[in-house]
A and B are shown apart, each in its own frame.
Chain A
């Protein structure tokens, strides 16, 4: 007779309460020999220490990949990854790419037609056809 309960699980909303950066790891691959890695090698030597120190929440790995183009791969909390080939790029161009990886959510890119999505209840309530004065015909 008393009220029974159904079960539901709370939904998380990143940024409400705490914000978790979605990029958790960035892999940097370079080649010592190939010319396409020149910018990447310069980036690793000059800009990466500062960038990595500014983003302690991202794990950085640097590893050689001989005779291949340099790549930066971002790994995300949702399990996806985002590889960007940075061949023949200047160090500052690579920095831009890393900032892109950092800011990405890891989701597939899709066109956003409705910029605001929310799971909050509508403040105005749902429109009801059974209320108000109705339409006069």
Chain B
């Protein structure tokens, strides 16, 4: 999940202001479009264009008092022919500057860049005017910081759970919720005349939408068709490293689940319910958004556009303010959200897995012992079972049958192993990223500075 950052390459083109030239397919399309309609104003993606102050007469010919009734915004002719608003209009948008202040963005980030982050690839296919490059940059930064956080704080997480945790913290769904918690409003339809402070994406022509980030192998279709096995690592490295959450029907396990697994799912549902409840009383996501209705496809497109906006904002913070600012932004907005890792585990044979763990770690084989019980012959019996390795108690569980209690105890023991954490204040690799060269320079090249891991796990217990 830790992909190497190639940020210089992704950020470079943003800082170079250039008019749209026919260097990319999208740009070529745009220029040919311009030839046919000569009245379309020429767009420049320059971030320093100043707004032209137009002098309006105090009184219209029809006698309208402009001091009392200011005229509507004068748009350049044929603005509505453009796919997205002109960058120069960003300076006049109240919504945009309010968003800039709401996110406490640095004044180094110009409003034009923020306006560009709000233009999805489905609204404007030209890569010099949409947010796809910024979103790619932001996605790498968010994924990097989330994965390093998980790897350092929970070094023993199995790959599958790590992937689920990453998807739950930095995938499209949580990023969509972040965008909605920032008060982003989608425009009814994209176009040159809409307010640059609205999120613009097209539900009609989703063909131009960026499907995902990263390289996709040509064999993927074959793999999916033939149902071949592939590991999480292969999927992360070779394909889209954070796929969208599966729909709820898919997430439901059809295999005969163990007691706690069912219980976990019930809890999960309860959690979902409580989240809705929480959203009502807390400043989380809005209850109704203009795109909350519609088909599952349009909802998915909306989610993707909102997520790409958040990624693009992170990319913009990186491009204009640097590495540290981007890191603290990700920390404040993405990593600060709460995700209960305990709920992500689904064990199939917990007792067997615990036995194999004990064998690998050269502990005594685990033994389940009945600690206490009540009401064995009643309608509601309770058994408390502990799992012991020698004299050490590894885990304990209570259930209505002896079998259930034993499985729960084994699951608790396994969770205690997998969720080992060296502590809250542990340094992650990016904490010492800048110090490395400084320390090496201070020590005259003798001392090798850098990040030292607190704990490295030897690996997953059972790998496929």
Contacts and interface: CB of A to CB of B under 8 A. Distances in A.
Interface string B267-299: 010010001001111111111110000000000
A56 B96 CA distance: 10
A97 B20 CA distance: 49
B246 interface: yes
B102 interface: yes
Contacts of B163: 5
Nearest to B264: A6
Interface stretch (B34-42, B342-350, B428-436): B342-350
Contact of A5 (B103, B182, B345, B353): B345
Contacts of B167: 7
Interface residues of B, number: 79
A135 interface: no
Contacts of A14: 181, 282-284
Contacts of A107: 280-281
A11 B278 contact: yes
A20 B331 CA distance: 15
A89 interface: no
Nearest to A5: B164
B332 A78 contact: no
Nearest to B102: A57
A8 B163 CA distance: 11
B97 interface: yes
Interface stretch (B72-80, B170-178, B216-224): B170-178
Contacts of A105: 282-283
A125 interface: no
B336 A18 contact: yes
A119 B398 contact: no
B254 interface: no
Nearest to B338: A11
A58 B332 CA distance: 21
User: Is the contact region of chain A dominated by helix, strand, or loop, or is it mixed?
Assistant: loop
B337 A20 contact: no
A12 B339 contact: no
Contact of B343 (A3, A6, A56): A6
Contacts of A120: 338
B312 interface: no
Given A4-B346, A56-B98, A12 B181 contact: yes
A130 B381 CA distance: 12
A113 interface: no
Given A5-B344, A59-B95, A78 B286 contact: yes
B384 interface: yes
Nearest to B350: A3
A12 B180 CA distance: 11
B337 A12 contact: yes
B161 A3 contact: yes
Contacts of B287: 78-79
Interface stretch (B3-11, B124-132, B314-322, B456-464): B456-464
B284 A3 contact: no
A77 B342 CA distance: 31
A82 to B, nearest CB: 14
A12 to B, nearest CB: 5
Given A4-B346, A11-B339, A78-B286, 12 more contacts: A1-B348, A1-B352, A6-B264, A7-B167, A8-B268, A10-B337, A13-B336, A18-B333, A20-B181, A78-B284, A79-B289, A117-B281
